[in-house]
Structures are given as C-alpha cells and as structure tokens.
Amino acid sequence: MDKSLKRYAKYLSVMGDREAVPVEELARTLGYSRSRVERDLQKMIDRGYFGGKAYLNVELGYLFRGSGAAAGFRQRFEETAGRFARYIELKEGRYYTRVRISDIVYTDYSNHYIQVHTTSCVVRSYMSFEAFFPMLAPYSNFLWCCRNCMVNMDYVDTWEDHDFILKNGERLPIFKSNRREILQAYANYIFDYVNGGTMS
C-alpha cells in the first residue's frame, strides 16, 4: 500500500459514517495542514471514495457526502445564526435593556424583581414572574426547573440528586414533585440536538 492510500485510510477512520465532516477537525486530528487536507479530500472525491455526490465546500470548511447533508447543515447554520439575533427587552430602573436570548444562563425571582443571569451580568427588572414567563416560553432551550426559575439548557453541564449543575459551577434546584418530567425534558432536548437539531 503506497503512502497516499495509507493516508486516505486515516481520513476514512476519523470520518466514520458522518455525512458532513469539518476540514479543520481532520487537520487537527491527523496533524496535517488545512491545505493538505483539502487537496487530499478533493483527490479522494475524484477517485470515488465517497460515492458520486460528495463534494468539498471550501467556504464552509466542510466535506459533504451528499447534497442532503449540505442542505441540512445550511438549515441548521441559518437557524443558529438567527438565534443569536433574538433578544428580550426589560426595563431596568428608568431605562430599557436588551438581553440576547443566547446570553441568558438562567432567570429567577426575588422581592418582586425578575433577575436575568447572563454570561456577563445580572439584569434586574421590576415585574412579576407571570408577566415575564411568556417572553421565554417560545424558546425550546428554556426549562422551568423550580419555583420562579427558568434555566437555559444550553448552559447545563449535568445534574446531581435534585440539582442542575451549570457549566459555571452554579447549582439550580429541580422541583421535587416534577423531577422525573423535568429531567426527561432535558434528556429529550439533548437527544434532539445530538441527532441533528439545534440548541436554540
């Protein structure tokens, strides 16, 4: 077996049966330059290693094994990009503050104030939880986990006993009465993401 065939076998081993594979991941895993990986992939495509519908998209930095994979990737990319443009607007003191949905880690309620904990700060707004809840209700990544508290599941690391453990180390309690349903909702959300959905 010549050197190129051995190299191609390494690519196939890393790629497995995935329909869309990042060029950067192959370069990092195999220790090759990005340009080397792009050249090799194009040669493999030309020689029929991935079937007749595979192509390399240099702009996106992906090898697609079929047009369906590319279409699905583009849809998820556009949905994710759109998510980062979404925000809610809260009155903080005399002024209104815009908070990006993707920046919200969790929210809670204390002394008539909604507290929105973001990746950089805490925004406090004088309003009831009942008035605030509908602002986040349309977003599938927010879960009502305990009294007057909603967590962004994108920032959950794991759970332990009766708490969610966030990626920043904080703990949020889980309703005892609804623990099973809440953990199932979280598991469903992660399953959908892993199987091709988007964390929204």
- Same domain? For 17 and 96 the reply is no
CATH number of 138's domain: 2.40.50.1020
48 in any annotated domain = yes
Rg (CA), the chain: 22
- Same domain? For 145 and 75 the reply is no
Structure tokens at 49: 């290693």
Is 116:107 a contact under the CB 8 Å cutoff?
A: yes
The DSSP annotation for 8-31 comes to HHHHHHHHTT-SEEEHHHHHHHHT
* End-of-domain residue from the set 25, 59, 79: 79
200 in any annotated domain = no
**Which segments of the chain are extended strands (E)?**
20-22, 55-57, 62-64, 87-92, 95-100, 104-110, 113-118, 122-126, 142-146, 149-152, 156-160, 163-166, 171-173
- Same domain? For 12 and 46 the reply is yes
User: Which domain range does residue 51 map to?
Assistant: 3-79
- Same domain? For 14 and 62 the reply is yes
Residues constituting the chain: 200
Write out the chain's pLDDT in tens, 200 residues: 578 888 889 989 988 888 888 888 899 899 999 899 999 999 999 988 888 788 888 777 888 887 665 556 666 655 655 555 588 999 998 888 999 999 999 999 999 999 999 999 999 999 998 899 889 988 889 999 998 899 999 999 998 888 999 999 999 999 988 888 999 999 988 887 766 555 54
